[in-house]
A = this chain, B = another copy of it.
Amino acid sequence: MPPLLFRQKERLQCASLSTRSPHPFSFHCFAPFYSVVQAIMPPKPLDYESLNENVKKVAYAVRGELYLRASELQKEGKKIIFTNVGNPHALGQKPLTFPRQVVALCQAPFLLEDPNVALLFPADAIARAKNYLSLTSGGLGAYSDSRGLPGIRKEIAEFINRRDGYPSDPELIFLTDGASKGVMQMLNSIIRNDKDGILVPVPQYPLYSATISLYGGSLVPYYLEEEENWGLDLDNVKKSVAAARSNGITSSIEQLQCIISACYILIRAMVIINPGNPTGQCLSEANLKEILLFCYRENLVLLADEVYQQNIYQDERPFISARKILLDMGPPISKEVQLVSFHTVSKGYWGECGQRGGYFEMTNLSPQTVDEIYKVASISLSPNVPGQIFLGLMVNPPKPGDISYLKYTAESKAVLDSLRRRAHIMTDGFNSCKNVVCNFTEGAMYSFPQIRLPPKAIEAAKKAGKAPDVFYCLKLLEATGISTVPGSGFGQKDGVFHLRTTILPAEEDMPAIMASFKKFNDEFMEQYENYRGFSRI
Q: Residues of A with Cβ closer than 8 Å to B?
A: 3, 7, 10-11, 13-14, 17-18, 20-21, 23-26, 42, 44-48, 50-53, 55-56, 58, 60, 62-63, 85, 87-93, 95, 97, 100-101, 103-105, 107-111, 114, 116-117, 119-120, 136-144, 146, 177-178, 180-181, 184, 188-192, 207, 210-211, 214, 238, 241-242, 245, 259, 264, 266, 268-269, 293, 296-301, 331-333, 335-336, 338, 340, 346, 351-356, 362, 365-366, 368-369, 372, 375-376, 378-387
Contacts and interface: CB of A to CB of B under 8 A. Distances in A.
A450 to B, nearest CB: 26
Nearest to A332: B10
Nearest to A20: B297
30 contacts: A10-B331, A14-B333, A23-B245, A25-B245, A45-B268, A46-B362, A52-B189, A52-B192, A53-B192, A55-B189, A63-B378, A89-B138, A92-B138, A95-B139, A103-B108, A104-B104, A104-B108, A104-B111, A107-B386, A116-B116, A119-B119, A119-B120, A138-B354, A141-B351, A143-B354, A184-B379, A354-B385, A355-B384, A355-B385, A384-B387
Nearest to A86: B143
A341 to B, nearest CB: 13
A46 B365 contact: yes
A113 B158 CA distance: 36
Contacts of A369: 46-48, 51
Contacts of A346: 143
A21 B298 contact: yes
B120 A97 contact: no
Given A10-B335, A46-B365, A107-B107, A259 B24 contact: yes
Contacts of A26: 297-299
B141 A23 contact: no
Contact of A144 (B184, B301, B354, B372): B354
Contacts of A89: 138-139, 141-142
A190 B100 contact: no
